[in-house]
Amino acid sequence: MNIRKAVIPVAGLGTRFLPATKAIPKEMLTIVDRPTIQYIVEEVVASGIEQVILVTSEGKAAIENHFDYDFVLDNILQKKNKERLAEELNHISNLIDIVSVRQKKPLGLGHAIWSTRNVVGDEPFAVLLGDDLVLSDEPCCHQMISLFDEVHESIVAIQRVPKDQTSNYGIIEGQPYKKRTYKIDRMVEKPAPGATDSDMAIIGRYILRPEIFSLLEKTEPGHGGEIQLTDALLELSRQRGMYAYEFEGTRFDAGDKLGYLKAIIAFGLRHSELGEAFRKHIKQVAENF
């Protein structure tokens, strides 16, 4: 079955980036020359998905505007003979069909996903979290769709993390199934130190079967008093089985200040126009300090 829809929750407050995010959504913070959310949407497009469902809250209109067609700006750029720039902007507004759903209360990631149930309907879908940027040859989401075509069950992306960082993530325990793939036995959201021996952390990429919605409906508040997606996924893994996939690529936590800086360097080095000059500069900096 084709994965046609991708849910991108963008309702979070972005308190980790204050004061930068006081008046702009954290998803609009720039990496080189585009907001972080654009990298996520481009990954969705490159994975062959047809529609993005943003889960928004108050104060997130800038994200919707970014992907909209700006008639006035387009006209001004055309008149000033800045066709190339105008083309680039039009390209962004034509990337993919985007719809928004409001998360009416800040009740957690599980609740944000549940809010999209009527738009997603009865079909498997992708979820991409805006803080996690992945640099890879094949888009991370596409790698997971290929696995879904084979196993037809829900999948979470995972990455090994140092043991002292497991309490920042959802952690899975499982048995090797095939290369880079595990059959999940257990999952726990932000485990207390010592609560698990596993170092396999959930990264913000999921392919989910629609059965998740009825499970989310019944999920009680968990870690931090929020309705946790991980808790509903644990139930889904018990009922149907579920897989964890160690994706190929490098992940950056753009929701964290250091992770954000690392992402700027990596995406800067890969940039088609600036990459070469930036590489030279980085070398010089490394030599001089």
Q: Does 231 bind ligand G1P (CB under 6 A)?
A: no
CA distance 245 to 263: 22
Instruction: Choose between 145 and 244: whose C-beta lies nearer to ligand G1P.
Output: 244
For residue 171, list its beta bridge partners: 188, 201
Q: Does 130 bind ligand G1P (CB under 6 A)?
A: no
Instruction: Choose between 86 and 203: whose C-beta lies nearer to ligand G1P.
Output: 203
Residue nearest to ligand G1P (CB): 170
User: Residue 286 CB, nearest distance to ligand G1P (Å)?
Assistant: 29
CA distance 7 to 49: 11
Q: Does 189 bind ligand G1P (CB under 6 A)?
A: yes
Candidate list 11, 39, 103, 132; residue touching ligand G1P; CB under 6 A = 132
Secondary structure class of 54 (helix, strand, coil): strand
User: Residue 65 CB, nearest distance to ligand G1P (Å)?
Assistant: 24
CA distance 107 to 13: 12
Contact 9, 115 (CB under 8 A): no
Phi, psi of 252 (to 5 degrees): -120, 135
In this chain, which stretch among 37-45, 125-133, 140-148, 207-215 interacts with ligand G1P, using CB under 6 A? 125-133
For residue 7, list its beta bridge partners: 53, 127
User: Residue 88 CB, nearest distance to ligand G1P (Å)?
Assistant: 30
Tokens linked to 42: 């481009």
Query: Binding to ligand G1P (CB under 6 A): which residues in 20-79?
Result: none
Secondary structure class of 20 (helix, strand, coil): coil
Secondary structure class of 103 (helix, strand, coil): coil
User: Residue 251 CB, nearest distance to ligand G1P (Å)?
Assistant: 9
Candidate list 17, 114, 125, 169; residue touching ligand G1P; CB under 6 A = 169
Instruction: Choose between 169 and 278: whose C-beta lies nearer to ligand G1P.
Output: 169
User: Distance of CA 252 to CAs 36, 120, 276, Å?
Assistant: 11, 28, 21
Q: Would you tell me which residues interact with ligand G1P (CB under 6 A)?
A: 109, 129, 131-132, 169-170, 189, 201-204, 229-230
